[in-house]
Amino acid sequence: MKINAARHERNKPVFLMTVDVEDWFQVENFKPWISYDSWDRRELRVEKNTLAILDLFDSVLGAGRIKGTFFLLGWVAERLPHLVKEIDARGHEVASHGYHHRMVSTCTDAELLGDLVVSRRLLEGILGKKVAGYRAPSFSIEPRLVGALKKAGYRYDSSYNSFNGNHRYGSLKGHNPLERGVIQFNNGISELPVSNLSFRGKAVPWGGGGFFRLIPKGVYAHGVKAQMDREGVFLFYLHPWELDPDQPRVTEASSGFKFRHYINLSATEKKLNYLLSRMRDASFMTCSAYLERSGNQLYGC
């Protein structure tokens, strides 16, 4: 009976819930109006919003049922080490989102490697255990990032978004997903791409963020289920500020950026509750656990 139960669990579709832990003033869309040296003077709201996500995870399907991966910005982790420990204590995986939230394309090789190393060591110092994963700000992956991740001691990446309608998103030409949505690079780094739908050979943005907030909840959940049926896995992403309709407004930002950032913030929590409830038959796993189950030995020699 135990063998049959284990086989049934392995055959379930997998939902990879990922959260990019950054605050409202650190997003790429507002950088022209919010300088890095002003961050310490801004209202810090990320702790409250991240705790709301953790509580939602525990309530929607029962405590411990949903396991996710939280990609933490080093700047945030340094100021809120207790939040890092709380995420870990609730059974979720802590991974790196870099330290400064700088897109890969804006960094020299030395700056990129330094950011990767500093953010990983900071998180490991707080937790007292290894940190395996990384996600680049704005999904700005480049081929050189894969080599830098290996040098910096990471085991996997989750920075690839196949939607080409956003100029900030990077590319991975010549690499195709392996079975169940994993790309394996020659240097041993594994890639877990954000999940999108496909229509006539084109990627349709469906992995989360503003598209999740814009698309009607029933249509969105149907698309996720369809993709899970095809691939066996769906990787979703979210930011804590997306559950915060009362966050300060950056009034001087362009109308396009304000629309993308503020659209339907007041509905995010209910839509997320609905989506996760519809996925109750899936297996919710951390990125590391999923890769280990898929045969990628993250800490092997």
Q: How many domains, in total, are found in the chain?
A: 1
Q: Report pLDDT for 251.
A: 96
Q: What is the mean pLDDT of residues 176-205?
A: 84
- Residue 300 — pLDDT band, cuts 50, 70, 90? very low
**Structural domain harbouring 76:** 12-293
Distance CA 145, CA 132 (A): 15
Averaged pLDDT score across all residues of the chain: 91
CA distances from 78 to 84, 157, 224, 247, 275 (A): 9, 22, 35, 22, 32
- Residue 3 — pLDDT band, cuts 50, 70, 90? very low
The CATH number assigned to the domain holding 194 equals: 3.20.20.370
Assess contact for 181 and 187: CB atoms under 8 A. Answer: no
Q: Report pLDDT for 11.
A: 75
Residue 91: inside a domain, yes or no? yes
Nearest to 71 by CA among 145, 131, 153, 147: 131
Sign of CA dihedral 239, 242, 244, 246: positive
Residue 33: inside a domain, yes or no? yes
Q: Report pLDDT for 276.
A: 97
Residue 216: inside a domain, yes or no? yes
Q: Report pLDDT for 213.
A: 97
Residue 162: inside a domain, yes or no? yes
pLDDT in tens, 63-108: 889 999 999 999 999 999 999 999 999 999 999 999 999 999 999 9
- Is the pLDDT assigned to residue 223 strictly greater than 90? yes
Assess contact for 285 and 16: CB atoms under 8 A. Answer: yes
- Residue 4 — pLDDT band, cuts 50, 70, 90? very low
Q: Report pLDDT for 278.
A: 95
pLDDT in tens, 9-41: 567 899 999 999 999 999 999 999 999 999 999
Residue 301: inside a domain, yes or no? no
Q: Report pLDDT for 136.
A: 96
Residue 6: inside a domain, yes or no? no
Residue 83: inside a domain, yes or no? yes
pLDDT in tens, 131-187: 999 999 999 999 999 999 999 999 999 999 886 756 777 677 656 555 677 888 889
Residue 4: inside a domain, yes or no? no
Confidence (pTM): 0.92
Q: Report pLDDT for 299.
A: 40
Q: What is the mean pLDDT of residues 226-249?
A: 96
